Chain A
């Protein structure tokens, strides 16, 4: 059955490719850098962080209830890891014509209300998220110094309740990369809202 599904997916992927959609990164792929507008109107790229030991790239948004549940935890990751060389880079992949609450102005408002001090970038024209293969908000990609993808998935194992978290996947992935090891698990399922 699994093979059937995979074959079907492959067939779909080939069709999708002809429309210019790429199926995204898997572990070990080198991520391409980007230049996206931040809520302070300046453009941000991964290469703006020459001292980074890695990157926590999180596709997230204002409107998805799961993304909202994770807002404080995303700020928490940045607080904990930015000065250890692993900045959080958040990217809103939604099309504001479909989701008005995810417009660039609304991003500014939300970041201001919540005092985000990590970059919160707007994927104008929805160019970057298909390259990564993000499908949901929130959906996290942890990269190493060389921008090689080391972890893909959820932030932790309990979206509803931070105090009930058993495994903090992203924290564990960062710790593994710092120790020169491969994160385990390297992938989990990101639970959230489909990118609009």
Chain B
């Protein structure tokens, strides 16, 4: 009986924790308000979508970053820009399959021209793109990382900035 309860609790925990793991924001304002919760941490915020092949290809490097760093120091945030109507059809099945450990956000504010400059004025509008935030310090990079080493050295150089 005890074993069954433990099993039941862990199943409930697993499913509910997984469901909790995707934060959905329909406006950029909400997203911005929730993104940085600890000013002492370094945030690595990657913008991607399931239909963007170079994005999907580099996601494992970000997962490796999550695994390699203490969660109190570095937080990787994967921000999906999949369209709102693709959430059930494409994004959820994709994430279920991949089981990413990084923090997951689905940002669906459609008024891209309004918020893109607030991420960074130099953003041309292509993904993948990555934003590094630590306190008031920011760096924006609009490219795909070819390797974990390349991504990690960018993070290290940002931290030392």
Binding site for B on A (CB under 8 A): 2, 5, 65, 69, 135-136, 154, 157-161, 164, 166, 188-194
Contact = CB atoms under 8 A, between A and B. Distances in A.
Given A65-B51, A136-B126, A158 B111 contact: yes
Interface string B17-36: 00000000000000000000
A189 B112 CA distance: 9
Given A160-B83, A160-B84, A189 B111 contact: no
B113 to A, nearest CB: 5
Contacts of A136: 124-126
Interface string B85-111: 100000000000000000000001011
10 smallest A-B Cβ distances: which pairs? A160-B110, A191-B125, A189-B125, A191-B112, A158-B110, A194-B126, A65-B51, A160-B83, A157-B113, A188-B113
Contact of A193 (B84, B121, B122, B126): B126
B153 to A, nearest CB: 19
Contacts of A159: 110, 112
A136 B112 CA distance: 15
What is the interface of chain A mostly: helix, strand, loop, or mixed? loop
A154 to B, nearest CB: 6
Contacts of B124: 135-136, 189
Contacts, number: 48
Range of interface residues on B (Cβ < 8 Å):
20 to 34
B88 to A, nearest CB: 15
Contacts of A194: 126
Interface of B: 49, 51-52, 83-85, 108, 110-114, 116-117, 121-126
Contacts of B126: 135-136, 192-194
A2 B121 CA distance: 9
A5 B122 CA distance: 8
Contacts of A191: 112-113, 116, 125
Given A65-B83, A160-B83, A160-B84, A192 B113 contact: no
A99 to B, nearest CB: 10
14 contacts: A5-B122, A65-B83, A135-B126, A136-B124, A136-B125, A154-B112, A154-B113, A157-B113, A158-B111, A159-B112, A161-B84, A188-B113, A189-B116, A189-B125
A82 B15 CA distance: 54
Given A2-B121, A189-B113, A192-B125, 5 more contacts: A69-B83, A158-B111, A159-B110, A161-B110, A189-B123
A192 B116 CA distance: 12
